Structure 1
Amino acid sequence: MQSNIRGENIEVSDALKNYVEKKMNKLQRYFEQPIFEANVRLKVYNDEQHVEVTIPMSRLTLRAEEIHADMYAAIDLVVDKLERQIRKHKTRVNRKYRQEGSPKHVFAEIEKENGTLLTEQEEDQFEVVRTKRFNLKPMDSEEAILQMNMLGHTFFVFTNATTNNTNVVYKRKDGKYGLIEPS
């Protein structure tokens, strides 16, 4: 696996680069076909070390980020988070591809590892327990943000008054707001 490692407010040393590549290669065992690239972003702000990893694939994108006081610990945590994502979605994604008639699976069989099996209970974790229906009112993004904040939610779905498309505003981890528009 080729890791595209970038540093922001940090110089990526050879030791740090080798550590990231070693940890990212650990993920390779979960895939039948080799992953060609992983985008790793290392950032330092004040005393916090941020690590973001994005692994683009043909039908799936894996992404995780972690913040810690120690860069090496943050790297370990983000790799653990990616492993959990892979285990969680392995059966569901492979089943979807089988239903579509695709003979290849995205994830390799990993049940042998540590004797862990993906049980039906873990798969039911995606069960929808509540459905809400509401009318989408035409408004601009600023009004949608105000509505979202009044409701105390982290996202809000609305119809954009200028484009007449369905949009989503959401609150980001950094406290700022994002807007999702269809292309």
Structure 2
Amino acid sequence: MTSTKKPIPVAVTLRGNVGEYAGEYARNKITTALGVAHGPVLTAHVVLDWRHNPAAEDHAIAEASANVDGLTVRAKTAAPTMPEAVDDLEYRLRRQLAQLQDRNRTRHRRTGIPAEHGWHRGDLPPRHRVPYFPRPEGTREVVRHKSFASAPMNPDEAAYEMDLLDHDFFLYRDAASGAPSLVHHLPEGGHDAQRAEPGGATASVTQAPPPPSLTQGQARARLEAGGEPFVFYLDADTGAGCVLYHRYDGHYGLIELAD
């Protein structure tokens, strides 16, 4: 019988000193990984970037994003060589897709039941953080400003969304209070939540102090002085939840939670 399954379209973008062979290698690897998706893959995009950062050993950056039946799944890796980065990317994307299936089964409830292919949350190794370029402080600019509206969530759901998108943090609106909130990974493992109006603790997310009220300039000064990858704060004028963070090119990114 002839298969009627449509081929998965995988677009590949090469940046820096990355050859066409690496692009085809990534296309084949990610196409194979997407074959386990439990739903139609509408779009898929891979970005391979070679960034010579004198402060880091991992110069090869590989990113993948896919729209699976209307939901976005992302993965990002860094390694000394591009083949290593692509291999790690395939592994992470497979686990992200299995996590998506698990989420669909449990309807955002964390049951501890392993998903298909034997996956559960503890199986996914921590991603090597992509080091940002050591740009001098006086030359750093806020070059990206995103504002988005988040559906109300509880901390567990926000942590699940963060893991599905392979992000280091996730800005959201708390379902109980409606207040701007943020969940992020802890260095020792697990998740931490900051909420403008603290709520009750959950089984899998600890509670951090509420975010401060700052101007963008104050947040920038705190980011530069503290050595942290991001600063979560409430805009001193509008009260909007904001995250100022280090971009990998050494500049800053700004995300604002819209009403």
TM-score by length of 2: 0.52
Match of 1:95 among 106, 114, 117: 106
Q: 2:204 aligns to what?
A: 128
2:75 & 2:222 partners in 1: Cα distance? Answer: 29
Q: Does 1:9 align with 2:20?
A: no
Q: 1:67 aligns to what?
A: 78
2:18 & 2:225 partners in 1: Cα distance? Answer: 42
Match of 2:222 among 120, 144, 147: 147
Residue type at the aligned position of 1:132: A
Q: Relative to total residues, which structure has the larger helix share, 1 or 2?
A: 1
Moved more, 56-65 or 21-30: 56-65
> Cα distance, 1:35 vs. partner?
0.7
1:28 & 1:10 partners in 2: Cα distance? Answer: 26
CA distances 1:135-154 after superposition (whole Å, capped 9, x unpaired): 642x2112013334555543
4+ long deviations beyond 6 Å: none
CA RMSD, Structure 1 to Structure 2 (Å)? 3.3
Q: 2:195 aligns to what?
A: none
2:70 & 2:212 partners in 1: Cα distance? Answer: 30
Moved more, 74-83 or 23-32: 23-32
Gaps of 5+ in 2: 1-7, 54-58, 124-155, 157-189, 192-202
> Cα distance, 1:27 vs. partner?
1.8
Q: Secondary structure at the match of 1:30?
A: coil
> Cα distance, 1:39 vs. partner?
0.9
2:18 & 2:229 partners in 1: Cα distance? Answer: 34
Q: Secondary structure at the match of 1:51?
A: strand
Distance 1:10 1:129, change over 3 A: closer
Residue type at the aligned position of 1:44: W
Q: 1:32 aligns to what?
A: 38
Distance 1:72 1:144, change over 3 A: same
Q: Secondary structure at the match of 1:32?
A: coil
Aligned residues: 166
1:66 & 1:135 partners in 2: Cα distance? Answer: 29
Distance 1:12 1:135, change over 3 A: closer
Residue type at the aligned position of 1:8: R
> Cα distance, 1:23 vs. partner?
0.9
Q: Does 1:179 align with 2:186?
A: no
1:6–1:12: 8 Å Cα contact kept in structure 2? Answer: no
The percentage of counterpart residues that share the same residue type is 22
Match of 1:53 among 61, 64, 86: 64
Gaps of 5+ in 1: 100-108
1:11 & 1:117 partners in 2: Cα distance? Answer: 32
TM-score by length of 1: 0.70
